[in-house]
Structure 1
């Protein structure tokens, strides 16, 4: 391969990758969190867009004329940035998986913007410079507005062919769940802790239980409403200081600055003489400036956890 072409390709990829690394370092400085934060639209949306624009802008006009080039080549520095931040432990695997679709789409949009600037046949250095400074200009404005907390619900249910008392026994006292019984595919893929066991100290209002997960994650639950074999409402609290730092990424830790589970509800309803429908829903809170995106992932994760618990309760109730 022509040496000059290799050098040119390295420049095209290395400049946007270096920009992404420098911006991540800048936004990661703790003492500047009041102005710049990784968990912001300014970072999560602007960074990949600018990376895409730079990748295409520094490319040859011949390549930029190809739509596939403008759309897909900006993904290369994004994946290099992903690998580097994982290797340096700047970000966790779960965090990257959740943000990757957004990064790839934004990088492609940036590639189209970079292509437009490149093909204008004018000196667009000023526009490119302003584009690179955009996150630093809008982040203080975003942080001054602040995150607006939002409450959301994750609803799930399952039909169980067993008597009500058998079902209810497996709700109030969930014996240890083996790895083979764990069917939580999404949480497993993201590397989240899996459920182990949970048991009420008694049946009624004020009862307490610890829902234990792997890697030291514990949900502290207190029953606020109770109707035997019909309905149970319980508050849920996770304390970040109890969770080992290696358990979850700081940006998605439960009970942390951005994500918290508030309460859960079991409801048992009779469908016919042999079948009951068990409902399980929870409420959780998000505190970010991009709740519209984060809420999708949070809901999918909570539904995966709940569906996993429901299938265990169904299996055990029907076997008994």
Structure 2
């Protein structure tokens, strides 16, 4: 019971700290070294400090018991929509490990204050100095106010994926050069799906020329209201196609993605996507898709691991989608009309879908 009380109190401390960081968002930042590194240390420290001595008699126990506190905090913040699942999946391994380190610090702190342990099978622990411990608990707020966003470091990253498509380069080019429809039934990338990244539904290119824009009608490019404004900035027929990417996160529904990893937000933005085409001797086509984006956090070394993993997963999914359409897969219509919404326009769209590779149509 005392262990449960200790875990609960430490979790409440973590929750209150999170709410304070959110309330003081003009001076403190959730995506900060203080919150993501110092706070879990303090949570782990508090957990082991409050657990009775006889319940934590080894460093291993001191390291792993704060993981329970981290799990309780995870469920509370998810239950009340304080944090998103995606953010927690990315941060929990780091958060729980740091909490464990905080538990080890508390374990050795208590051990160092032994009164008379020599010759005794059970150590006696001194009560920690209340003032010193109190200072430790208010430290995150003080440090967070000093740090703000000063530790953010913008970093540009380029991710590339390749896929050989069993179709001539002209067919592959046609898929990207005209209007296209992407089915809901296309296999979506596993990792990005588990993390809640919206699935690609449909896009349309208004004109195949530099300055041409990918536009969307009635719904959006992606599920949940996510949409990108993409403009053709480089074009070499059947060789290269580059789109600049612009997002306006203020237009996205608040439930679309976790605010801390929202595309176009303070910490993540996509700059451009480039398709490169290479006709191979056997009649197939090698397509390279690269995405250039930036991350802006105080711990880019960790954020980059997840960014590489997720973006690679998304690019692979897009390349497989291109291959299915280039090879003539008959896919259901995702939108009934790209032009006017009338029944006659829908019929024209269906006729264009049934003609040419995978329904692609040259503008």
TM-score, with normalisation over the residues of structure 1?
Answer: 0.91
| Residue 192 (structure 2) aligns with | 187
| Paired residues for 1:192-203 under 5 Å | 192-203=197-208
SS in 2 for 1:246: coil
Alignment of 1:10 with 2:19, yes or no, is no
Equivalent-residue separation in structure 2 for 1:234 and 1:43 (angstroms)? 36
CA contact (8 A) 2:32 2:151 kept: no
CA contact (8 A) 1:173 1:198 kept: no
Task: Indicate the RMSD between aligned Cα atoms, in angstroms.
Answer: 1.8
| Paired residues for 1:117-128 under 5 Å | 117-122=109-114, 124-125=128-129, 126-128=131-133
Change (3 A) 1:174 1:57: farther
SS in 2 for 1:268: strand
| Residue 62 (structure 1) aligns with | 54
Unaligned stretches of 5+ residues in structure 2: 115-125, 329-356, 358-363
Unaligned stretches of 5+ residues in structure 1: 1-5
One of 267, 270, 276 as aligned partner of 1:258: 267
- Structure 1 residue 129 displacement after superposition: 3.0
Per-residue CA shift, 1:171-226, capped at 9, x if unaligned?
23463322331321112101121101122212221111037111111111011110
- Structure 1 residue 68 displacement after superposition: 3.0
Equivalent-residue separation in structure 1 for 2:179 and 2:91 (angstroms)? 33
| Residue 351 (structure 2) aligns with | none
- Structure 1 residue 159 displacement after superposition: 1.0
Per-residue CA shift, 1:119-161, capped at 9, x if unaligned?
1125543553333222123223322634222111121111111
If you compute each CA radius of gyration, which structure gives the higher value, 1 or 2? 2
One of 97, 100, 104 as aligned partner of 1:105: 97
Equivalent-residue separation in structure 2 for 1:50 and 1:302 (angstroms)? 33
Equivalent-residue separation in structure 2 for 1:104 and 1:173 (angstroms)? 48
SS in 2 for 1:283: strand
- Structure 1 residue 275 displacement after superposition: 2.3
Equivalent-residue separation in structure 1 for 2:281 and 2:133 (angstroms)? 66
Please identify runs of 4+ aligned residues in structure 1 that moved more than 4 A: none
CA contact (8 A) 1:61 1:119 kept: no
CA contact (8 A) 1:12 1:59 kept: yes
